[in-house]
Structure 1
């Protein structure tokens, strides 16, 4: 997707930007000339990852300067931090054109032995935070006629063994996307979602505490569970997000939950 000069001063706010899909999306938007507001957890690994993401963005588009990228860290389950993220973005750039609600966690769980505190944590991070961020950007996207891309999952489309809470949270995001698209269309705001399958080169599984052996098994298994015969890449998801955000290419798309899953959602 070629850089659009009209996008040079547009602003994308991306949560979960320190690694994986979020980092790749930041780099993709940088190549398109967007100014960026990037957010991640305030832990050493994510703070270092966020600095690396910013460096990658500046390398990807030498026309951007350090002032075109603001980075922030904190826990978005603390509601005040969500308000701060929006306020700081507006204070810095005076506008928001795109929200990419990407931050999320994976948790292994079965109904019969699920701890409710673990369920609450997954639903809070993967669902409540996304709902709140969608809500908070409405006044600003109304002004710019901007759009939202939520990151759901193929796990929100089909059942996955041992991942009940995660599946439920991502199904909720898909429904949030449809409901918000219907509600916000009159304001000129488009709302869409991507539903990734297994994506390699991300930290989401290691952050969930999965062993290296189990991670390797998951990626190897993708060769048989995904009809295209492999796991996806963060860059492939990032390009799909950029497509949905583009007024040139997707101006008549809203309420879409786009599988980026190598065919996993239609496999047996």
Structure 2
């Protein structure tokens, strides 16, 4: 497998699957354009160390349409061509129908769907000229109804249909379009857990100033501010929590309280730590949660970003030259357990 002479555009390349994919293209001789809203210096260094012919950094926030529209122009201005587009950038949010906001809907569809549409639309004339190809990074959530990630799943289902329609339209013009469907990797499990806490943390930051007067009253009544904050967070964010359940979970909260004493955390840090403690995801608990996910995968372990990136490279390579409109599931067999 060689990508020597090819220009490859990878979005979401600062970390995770995108960064690993960029490194693998670099190893096989590609010239790269790496795109992210976050810092890309480390990713560029790693790509150059792996042997990339050249690396172009593009900082772009995919919530900003003009920034998205400028990406392909910058790539072509530098390299005068484009051979492969990897649409990887995406946002997560946790939520069901009644707990998902219109703001989250707009964010996820803007980043996960609209930006992909714009990039592909801008890139397609150059891909037709080079007889290139596109690999879209979807998710198992695009194929199966996974609880708790309604909006994210909707966007990935859109990615899947987009892949098939564009593949059908551009196959006669020599452009292949495929899609890879990962299950959890260690990298995106961490991202998932952060997404789980996003809305609660957002609300807490907005409400805490309104609750401080109650906080002070509780302190005068003989409760510590940690005692009050713990109970307040549980009442606010666990609507089904009974008093019995509250006490049953206190060992996690006590662990958080000890860390507050040891590390002299700020109020904001305290809130974040207690909130994470309420879901059992501090420190070793995160590792335990990750290990619990192993049971959902018949192969018996979580995937790695390297394994996902190799699947992406296969679809982008001449080894899959007779493959278009395909959904390549890379999930450790998890789909076999879905009902």
TM-score normalised to the size of structure 1?
A: 0.89
Q: Using the alignment, how far apart are the partners of 2:332 and 2:49 within structure 1?
A: 29
Q: Using the alignment, how far apart are the partners of 1:98 and 1:85 within structure 2?
A: 14
Q: How does 1:1-268 map to 2 (within 5 A)?
A: 2=1, 4=2, 7-41=3-37, 46-47=38-39, 50-61=40-51, 64=52, 68-202=54-188, 204-205=191-192, 208=195, 210=197, 211=276, 212-213=281-282, 216=287, 218-247=289-318, 249-268=319-338
Calculate the aligned-residue CA RMSD, in Å: 1.6
Q: Using the alignment, how far apart are the partners of 1:250 and 1:218 within structure 2?
A: 36
- Cα contact 1:226–1:262 (8 A) shared by 2: yes
Stretches of structure 2 lacking an aligned partner (at least 5 in a row): 198-275
- How many Å apart are 1:216 and its aligned residue? 4.0
| DSSP-derived class of the 1:30 partner | helix
| DSSP-derived class of the 1:150 partner | strand
| DSSP-derived class of the 2:82 partner | coil
| Equivalent residue pairs, number | 253
Stretches of structure 1 lacking an aligned partner (at least 5 in a row): none
User: Which string of whole-angstrom CA distances, capped at 9 and with x for unpartnered residues, describes residues 109-165 of structure 1?
Assistant: 111222111112111111111111111111000000000000100011111111000
Q: Using the alignment, how far apart are the partners of 1:12 and 1:207 within structure 2?
A: 30
CA change 1:113–1:179 in 2 (3 A) is same
- Cα contact 2:137–2:179 (8 A) shared by 1: yes
- How many Å apart are 1:266 and its aligned residue? 2.0
User: Which string of whole-angstrom CA distances, capped at 9 and with x for unpartnered residues, describes residues 171-199 of structure 1?
Assistant: 11011101110011111100001001001
User: Which string of whole-angstrom CA distances, capped at 9 and with x for unpartnered residues, describes residues 205-258 of structure 1?
Assistant: 3653644448545522321111112211111010000000001x1000000111
User: Which string of whole-angstrom CA distances, capped at 9 and with x for unpartnered residues, describes residues 19-61 of structure 1?
Assistant: 00000000000011000000100xxxx21xx111111111112
Q: Using the alignment, how far apart are the partners of 2:41 and 2:193 within structure 1?
A: 20
Which stretch shows the higher mean deviation, 70-79 or 19-28?
A: 70-79
| DSSP-derived class of the 1:39 partner | strand
Q: Using the alignment, how far apart are the partners of 2:33 and 2:41 within structure 1?
A: 12
- Cα contact 1:14–1:22 (8 A) shared by 2: yes
- Cα contact 1:222–1:229 (8 A) shared by 2: no
